[in-house]
Amino acid sequence: MPRPTPAQVCWGTLAVVSATVVLLAVSGADSPLSITVLVVFALALGTLGTTLSITGHAHRTARTGGTAHPARASSEAGYAQPSSSGRR
């Protein structure tokens, strides 16, 4: 399994924090056990979101032949760049 990119880690962290805040605000949990359950659930949501993001990125990379940006790959191969013949 590929490693997550920094952007994917940030999205996962944002998902965990926002899900935790929303769940705690909506539920009105007071006991430590219910707060722990909600935090663990939010952590699972963030982990699931990051995992799905990694899986989607790997699927796009495999589908485009090794790169997620086909335009960038064609320019690196020299196909999108016109040859310079010295004319201006």
DSSP 8-state symbol, 41? H
Structure confidence by residue, pLDDT tens digits, 7-39: 878 888 888 888 889 989 999 889 999 999 999
- % of the chain with per-residue pLDDT over 70: 61
Residue 2: which pLDDT band, with cuts at 50, 70 and 90? confident
b/e for 47-76, b at 16 or more Cβ within 10 A? eebbeebbeebeeeeeeeeeeeeeeeeeee
CA dihedral over 70, 72, 77, 82, signed as positive or negative = positive
Report yes or no: 2 and 55 within 8 Å, Cβ to Cβ. Answer: no
